[in-house]
Amino acid sequence: MDIELKKKKYILPRKYWPWAGGGLLVIVILVWLATSNFSSTLRVDRRGLNIGTVENAQFDDYVSVDGSVVPIQVVQISPEEGGVVLEKTVEEGVHVKKGDVIVRLNNSNLDLEILNAESELAEKQNMLRSTQLSMEQDNLNNRNEALQLKMDVQTKRRAYKHQAALQKEELNSREEYLKAKEDYELAVQKEELIQQRLKKTNELNRSQVAQMTGDLASMRKNVELVRQRKAKLDVRSTIDGEIGLLDVELGQSISPGQKIGVINDLSDYKVEAQVDEHYIDRVHTGLQATFEQNGRKYRLRVRKVYPEVREGRFKIDFVFLGERPKNIRTGQTYYIDLQLGEAKKAIIIPKGTFYSVTGGSWIFVLDKDGRKAYRRNIRIGRQNPQYYEVLEGLEPGEKVIVSGYESYKDNEILVLE
């Protein structure tokens, strides 16, 4: 007797099994990736690591800079007049007083200008003298003519009065009387005309002499200015100081305003320093700083902050507050602590080379047994030469790796061996 075999039924037909298996494999891989949080583990040698402790301690807000001593003022040596170097009276490093001659120049064109100006002045003076003599001669002639006309008026007046008296007595002719009267009136008119001419001539002469005198004064001033220009061929020191640089040679042609050297004002000193641009918003005039020299501490103040940034650094000038070192010399280097703010309690970690990779945005933190280190996001605030201030992400007592991360910057977990 035959037994009927019943065909087994499956939830999923056999023909779909390969597809289901592949889908299940994909799900397993996705679950594994999700549970592992994409982390990658790397084994590292503990002996090559620098491990620091997170502390809640006082944070001193300062930055250390190298300062170089320079004179308080450097004055440029530049001639006002150009010429050829005739003599160099001092050498570099020599102390000079204000007004001392440093370089003598010669300018033949300027000598020619002086001769021409003096010649024109002499010519103008001779012309003025000649004009004044001519005016004086004309004035004498006019005055003499005026006197003669005055005498003529008096003579004609007498003749006219005489003829008028005779006319009353009818002892002369009418024609003689009229002629005497006309002669007298003509003489009076001539005298009035000569007086008017004298007045006009005197006014004209005064105006002409005043103009020539003004021109002469201008020429004298011009000659004096040219002579002063010649005096400026002696290049003199404008301050008491030390010749720091003098770049001239005998026979060299120098242009007006050309820099030929500098004078260092040694009445005081300042300290120049270069600061990382990271601090450019925090450094300003008035901040104080200190440095130690031969066991003594000296104080400085920021006098000037230069706005230009070059190669990631900007320049500042310090001046001394109080005592200066006794052996201070130009070019000396001082290691200065520039105070940026008040000291206060903060979460801090030691400085390290990890910062160059992370920029302070994350760090490797050791677990409690110190066998593994996990990557953690943090936020760093201020920094000084020894510590970083941690604003968030770390707690006091935790251990962190502060050495460089170049070899494992893409890993999430480090296993310390």
- As a whole number of angstroms, the distance between CA 369 and CA 417 comes to 12
Own/partner pairs, 384-387, CB within 8 angstroms, 24+ separation: 384/59, 384/60, 384/61, 384/62, 384/63, 384/64, 385/62, 385/63, 385/64, 385/351, 386/350, 386/351, 387/59, 387/348, 387/349, 387/350, 387/351
Please, which pLDDT band fits residue 171 given cuts at 50, 70 and 90? confident
With a cut of 80, say whether residue 145 has pLDDT above it.
Answer: no
Q: What is the model's pLDDT at position 1?
A: 44
- As a whole number of angstroms, the distance between CA 338 and CA 52 comes to 25
| CATH entry 2.40.30.170 includes domain 62-70+266-339 | yes
Please, which pLDDT band fits residue 316 given cuts at 50, 70 and 90? very high
Percent of the chain with pLDDT over 70: 91
What are 169's two structure tokens?
A: 């007595």
Mean pLDDT rounded to a whole number for the chain: 84
Q: What is the model's pLDDT at position 16?
A: 60
Q: Exposed (0-12), middle (13-18) or buried (19+): which is 307, by Cβ within 10 Å?
A: exposed
Q: What is the model's pLDDT at position 28?
A: 65
With a cut of 70, say whether residue 13 has pLDDT above it.
Answer: no
With a cut of 50, say whether residue 38 has pLDDT above it.
Answer: no
What confidence tens digit (pLDDT) does each residue in 74-88 have?
A: 899 999 888 899 989
Please, which pLDDT band fits residue 164 given cuts at 50, 70 and 90? confident
Question: For the chain, what are the domain ranges?
Answer: 38-61+344-416, 62-70+266-339, 77-106+234-254, 109-231
Higher pLDDT, 81 or 128: 81
CATH code, 38-61+344-416: 2.40.420.20
With a cut of 60, say whether residue 35 has pLDDT above it.
Answer: no
With a cut of 90, say whether residue 142 has pLDDT above it.
Answer: no
With a cut of 60, say whether residue 32 has pLDDT above it.
Answer: no
| CATH entry 3.40.50.300 includes domain 77-106+234-254 | no
With a cut of 70, say whether residue 4 has pLDDT above it.
Answer: no
With a cut of 70, say whether residue 341 has pLDDT above it.
Answer: yes
Average pLDDT of the segment spanning 240-260: 89
Choose the weakest-confidence range: 84-98, 132-146, 330-344.
Answer: 132-146
Q: What is the model's pLDDT at position 12?
A: 57
Percent of the chain with pLDDT over 90: 28
Between the ranges 27-41, 197-211, 365-379, where is the mean pLDDT highest?
365-379
Q: What is the model's pLDDT at position 377?
A: 93
Please, which pLDDT band fits residue 11 given cuts at 50, 70 and 90? low
Please, which pLDDT band fits residue 18 given cuts at 50, 70 and 90? low
What confidence tens digit (pLDDT) does each residue in 187-244 have?
A: 788 888 888 888 888 888 788 777 777 777 777 887 787 787 888 888 999 999 899 8
With a cut of 70, say whether residue 52 has pLDDT above it.
Answer: yes
Q: In this structure, are strands 413-416 and 41-44 parallel, antiparallel, or unpaired?
A: parallel
